[in-house]
């Protein structure tokens, strides 16, 4: 490959893997529709300021990881590093809150962050997300959670993920907590790593998340003791309703989010086995002040985003195969009459939703059989002059050695019956 065509963090998603992406997307759309969420496709680029205002000016995402550029008219734009900001902007801009009192939206697609790539983290990555506007009650949080878990369940990952929840409180309780936390951390600041010192200044809550120091924090003040009555009641409500919904979860009082806009409920769905250093396959929470902060009315909201690429990695470990048929031609190579017959049969099979490969008239039968084998076909259908005249085919089971001659008219029923 020519050197100038390479660029870091670019990747191609091929074949079986692409199939898994589509499968997860289909499952998600199906589940989301059942919960009455409607699709929205916001642009992949927005005004840079949108992300600065929503995600937080001092977060790394905005400070270092955005793909920003200036267009020909001098506008400052950015490729979206996450989905919520654009959806909220669209919600306000299109007055979606005026149509119905609650609004449920979902989106899927690529996000972009300029980071050093590693396992489960790419510069262009996929998210599937949902946002629920206009309902402050814990049922909304819980609907988002149940919905999210149902997607993983349908994707065959029920035993591979766990739900962790926490409450960060509203502005008031968080401010109080933050002050106490800072005091407590400060008193032992020399024990802490370099990164934690940095976090103390930018976002003290994230100190709780530190990989090195986390174990030293068992006795730090816990957010749950600082929640105001309203926030406490809300969080209790979430837990009670999750129980009603028969949804397992763990409360993790150290669970924190990196984005500034979260209030009250936050959650992560983690893989039970390590996916490299990253184990969160989905995350989200409530953001009751964001709509107003962006110039809309005061509307409560909550949502989630699934890390599709990481979820695919999990799904790859539980792979399943599609059964395929290969159509082979016996006799002299290049026989157009036989090729025509093969095409007719292939059309017939595909019409009946059977995955069909072939024909390859210019290969010897041996070569065709080898190809069929290496394509992992379940069966090979063989036709030659003799069979065509009798209107039959030879159906060979590729998992063993057996084959039988059957009337062409029975082929579809026979295959579907197996």
Partner RNA sequence: GUGAGUGUAGCUCAAUUGGUUAGAGCGUUUGGCUGUGGCCCAGAAGGCUGGGGGUUCAAGUCCCCUCACUCACCCCA
Q: Which two tokens stand for residue 294?
A: 């962006």
254-273: which residues touch RNA (CB under 7 A)? 257-259, 268
Number of residues that bind RNA (CB under 7 A): 76
Q: Contact 286/300 with Cβ under 8 angstroms?
A: yes
Closer residue to RNA in complex, CB, 24/97: 24
One symbol per residue from 108 to 127: x for binding RNA (CB under 7 A), - otherwise; what is it?
Answer: -----x-xxxxxxxx--x-x
Strand locations in 276-346 (E): 278-286, 301-307, 324-329
Q: Which of 287, 221, 329, 347 is closest to 85 using CA atoms?
A: 287
- Segment near RNA (CB under 7 A), from 136-144, 147-155, 275-283, 291-299? 275-283
How far apart, in whole angstroms, are the C-alpha atoms of residue 314 and residue 295?
A: 39
126-185: which residues touch RNA (CB under 7 A)? 127
> Least distance from C-beta 314 to RNA, angstroms?
11
> Least distance from C-beta 352 to RNA, angstroms?
23
291-320: which residues touch RNA (CB under 7 A)? 305-307, 309-310
48 binds RNA (CB under 7 A): no
Helix axes 15-34, 138-154, angle to 10 degrees: 140
64-83: which residues touch RNA (CB under 7 A)? 64-65, 82
Helix axes 138-154, 229-244, angle to 10 degrees: 40
Q: Which two tokens stand for residue 163?
A: 């739900």
> Least distance from C-beta 16 to RNA, angstroms?
15
8 binds RNA (CB under 7 A): yes
187 binds RNA (CB under 7 A): no
6 binds RNA (CB under 7 A): yes
> Least distance from C-beta 98 to RNA, angstroms?
28
**Phi, psi dihedrals of residue 25, rounded to the nearest 5°:** -65, -45
Closer residue to RNA in complex, CB, 17/102: 17
Q: Contact 214/205 with Cβ under 8 angstroms?
A: no
One symbol per residue from 201 to 220: x for binding RNA (CB under 7 A), - otherwise; what is it?
Answer: -----x--xxxx--------
Closer residue to RNA in complex, CB, 225/251: 251
Question: At which residue do the structure tokens 């509203």 appear?
Answer: 170
59 binds RNA (CB under 7 A): yes
How far apart, in whole angstroms, are the C-alpha atoms of residue 169 and residue 230?
A: 9
Residue 311, H or E segment: helix 308-316
Closer residue to RNA in complex, CB, 180/195: 195
331 binds RNA (CB under 7 A): yes
**Strands 324-329 and 355-357, bridge-based pairing:** parallel
46 binds RNA (CB under 7 A): no
The Cα-based distances of 253 to 149, 219, 225, 286 in angstroms read 21, 12, 10, 16
Q: Which of 13, 222, 348, 394 binds RNA (CB under 7 A)?
A: 394
9-28: which residues touch RNA (CB under 7 A)? 9-11
330 binds RNA (CB under 7 A): yes
Q: Contact 174/168 with Cβ under 8 angstroms?
A: yes
Straight-line distance from the first to the last Cα atom of the chain, in angstroms, rounded to the nearest whole number: 46
């Amino acid at each position: 490959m020519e050197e100038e065509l390479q660029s870091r963090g670019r990747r191609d998603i091929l074949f079986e893997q692409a199939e898994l992406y589509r499968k997860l997307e289909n499952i998600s759309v199906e589940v989301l529709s059942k919960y009455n969420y409607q699709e929205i496709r916001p642009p992949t680029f927005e005004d840079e300021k949108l992300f600065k205002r929503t995600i937080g000016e001092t977060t790394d995402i905005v400070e270092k990881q955005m793909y920003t550029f200036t267009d020909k008219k001098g506008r400052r734009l950015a490729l979206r590093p996450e989905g919520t900001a654009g959806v909220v902007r669209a919600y306000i801009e299109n007055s979606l809150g005026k149509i119905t009192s609650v609004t449920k939206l979902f989106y899927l697609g690529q996000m972009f962050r300029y980071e050093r790539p590693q396992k489960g983290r790419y510069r262009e990555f996929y998210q599937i997300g949902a946002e629920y506007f206009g309902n402050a009650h814990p049922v909304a949080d819980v609907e988002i959670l149940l919905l999210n878990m149902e997607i993983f369940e349908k994707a065959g990952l029920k035993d591979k993920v766990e739900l962790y929840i926490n409450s960060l409180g509203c502005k008031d309780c968080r401010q109080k907590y933050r002050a106490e936390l800072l005091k407590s951390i400060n008193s032992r600041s020399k024990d802490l790593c370099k990164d934690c010192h940095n976090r103390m200044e930018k976002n003290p809550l994230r100190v709780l998340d530190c990989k090195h120091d986390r174990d030293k924090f068992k006795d730090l003040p816990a957010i749950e003791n600082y929640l105001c009555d309203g926030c406490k009641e809300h969080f209790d409500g979430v837990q009670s309703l999750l129980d009603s919904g028969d949804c397992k979860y763990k409360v993790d009082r150290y669970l924190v989010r990196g984005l500034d806009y979260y209030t009250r409920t936050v959650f992560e769905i983690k893989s039970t086995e390590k996916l490299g250093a990253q184990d969160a396959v989905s995350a989200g929470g409530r953001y009751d002040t964001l709509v107003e902060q962006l110039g809309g009315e005061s509307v409560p909201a909550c949502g989630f985003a699934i890390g599709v690429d990481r979820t695919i990695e999990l799904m790859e470990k539980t792979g399943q195969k599609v059964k395929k048929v290969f159509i082979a031609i016996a006799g002299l190579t290049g026989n157009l009459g036989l090729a025509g017959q093969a095409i007719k049969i292939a059309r017939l099979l595909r019409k009946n939703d059977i995955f069909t490969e072939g024909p390859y008239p210019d290969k010897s039968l041996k070569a065709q059989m080898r190809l069929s084998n290496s394509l992992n076909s379940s069966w090979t259908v063989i036709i030659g002059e003799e069979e065509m005249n009798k209107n039959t085919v030879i159906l060979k089971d590729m998992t063993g050695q057996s084959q039988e001659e059957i009337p062409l008219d029975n082929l579809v029923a026979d295959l579907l019956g197996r």
